[in-house]
Amino acid sequence: MSSNSLPRPTTPAGRDALATLLANPSDVVVAVDFDGTLAPIVADPERARAHPDAVPALAALAPRVASVAVITGRPAGVAVRYGGFAGVPGLDHLVVLGHYGAERWDAATGEVRAAPEHPGVTAVRAELPGVLERAGAWPGTWIEEKGRAVAVHTRRATDPQAAFDALTGPLTDLATRHGLVVEPGRMVLELRPPGMDKGQALLEHVRETGARAVLYAGDDLGDLPAFAAVEKLRADGVPGLLVCSGSDEVQALSARADLTLRGPAEVVAFFAALAQAMPD
């Protein structure tokens, strides 16, 4: 497929980065968020699965680039299962950086490596039900256990935004008492250790691979640190393409993106077209 058939980035930096990606794919890291970018957002996160075209698109792209990395707040093993990434021809060098880089799964070995858990997560986990009860009755609000983090979802509440707003303060206070931070997302508040973010995970992976260009695709507020990391790399002379998996819920990423696509279906179609436009 010709590069002319690819969506055109709206910024000069994005157009330059896309040209570099197509000219020298073996020097490129392609990094992508999971929920909302590869997988459609659903009311129950345990039912999230990668778009049906995601694995074929990544399998076509991965052999042409230096690395494909899925960077997610989920445990690495969960993202692997929900993504269907294990044992796929062409994805031999895929890595999944789970818990914002605290866990790493390598397709080559099928193993997960992990850092020790922050003690504050255990304390927050124990106190969280009481904090929610004191904050008021919000039917439909529920707690997701994420291993190295814990999240409170309000998407199923009668008034999701009101529940989100009411719980932000109490959960921030709880997190602060135990040395954690609160990361807001699309009707979710995640309590996790500081220093765990997608930007740091991305920078470390780019340094590890020695990549000379980078693409990052994301959809939510938790992806802003990765956008900032790409902008930092640009300032250091590394071309970077910022792709937003757009939605009506979050506008902050599209304002900074070089290319905005409408959700996972368009993101994976873009990856497939990008692979076809790259030399073998």
Task: Tell me how far apart the alpha carbons of residues 47 and 26 are, in angstroms, rounded to a whole number.
Answer: 34
Query: In this model, does residue 2 exceed pLDDT 80?
Result: no
Q: What is the pLDDT of residue 1?
A: 43
Q: What is the pLDDT of residue 4?
A: 58
Mean pLDDT of the chain: 93
Q: CA dihedral in degrees (150, 222, 67, 110; nearest 10)? A: 10
Residue range 12-114+196-277 forms a domain whose CATH class is alpha beta
Q: What is the pLDDT of residue 26?
A: 95
84-97 pLDDT, tens per residue? 999 999 998 899 99
Give start and end residues of each alpha helix (H) in 136-252. Answer: 160-177, 198-209, 224-235
- What are the structure tokens assigned to 180, written together? 């954690």
32-46 pLDDT, tens per residue? 999 999 999 998 889
Residue 3: pLDDT band by 50, 70, 90 thresholds?
low
* Domain range summary for the chain, segments of one domain joined by +: 12-114+196-277, 119-192
Residues 119-192, CATH architecture: 2-Layer Sandwich (3.30)
Which is more confidently placed, 31 or 114? 31
pTM metric for this prediction: 0.81
196-211 pLDDT, tens per residue? 899 999 999 999 999 9
